[in-house]
Amino acid sequence: MSNDNLGNTDVNTSAALPFSQACENNQRPILAILQQELQDARHVLEVGSGTGQHSVYFAPQLAHLKWQTSDISANHDIIKAWHEAYPAPNLYPPLIFDLVQNELPFNPDIHEPYDAVFTANTLHIIDWSLVKNLFALTAQALPAHGKFIVYGPFNAQGRYTSAGNRQFDAMLRQRDSGSGIRDIEAIIELAEAHQLLLKSNHDMPANNQLLVFEKLGFEKTV
């Protein structure tokens, strides 16, 4: 079974694996943007790989780059199980990464810096202090013109973009008062404070968005 058919694997190998339907629903439209934005990338860090479903879908179809997964240690067995079921030569096992750390994790076997960081459905499930740390660490690690690509739901001008997002936000905040759907203006302001400028904003299925930030580059002066 090819990775291109992962959206229909619930009756196959993946039926025995921890499964996120949200990953299956959004991976095709996300991939279409990644194929455009990561044409020149060589080494990408995925922050919050979750079940690992995104990584096994994206890596084979972005074969020109190295796809490095990461997450808290509690999720590593799940990610590795997906990698074992759907291996790819450019797909790397998860690194331990907790957002209280003071730097992004690096694989000692890969001797090149990240030129892109990708994260999906993370900003709304973590505390705002950790969101800020993620942007700071990403900006610190990326070279000039490196990209930070973020997928998930966002509010616009303090308002929900759908009734579904309103209900989802209420559920998030009931579970953890520090989580919740973020205002896109606050995210853009935070990014700009770390020299990450919004390059493009793509509307995605189910009232989600994909934001592409680019690290500001400075021209050398004589």
- Model pLDDT, residue 59: 98
Alpha-carbon distance of 58 to 135, in angstroms, equals: 23
pLDDT (tens digit per residue) in 69-78: 999 999 999 9
Whole-number Cα distances in Å, 61 to 27, 36, 38, 69, 166: 12, 12, 11, 15, 34
DSSP 156: B
pTM: 0.91
pLDDT (tens digit per residue) in 127-162: 999 999 999 999 999 999 999 999 999 999 999 999
pLDDT (tens digit per residue) in 84-100: 999 999 999 999 999 99
The residue-averaged pLDDT of 167-196 equals: 96
- Max intra-chain CA distance, the chain: 63
Backbone angles phi, psi at 212, to 5 degrees: -115, 115
Strand partners, 71: 96
From the centroid of its chain, how far is CA 118? 4
Report residue 222's pLDDT band, with 50, 70 and 90 as the boundaries.
Answer: very low
Nearest residue to 65 (alpha-carbon basis) of 1, 116, 106: 116
The residue-averaged pLDDT of 109-132 equals: 96
> Residue 222 belongs to what H/E stretch?
none
DSSP 181: P
Does residue 8 surpass a pLDDT of 60? Answer: no
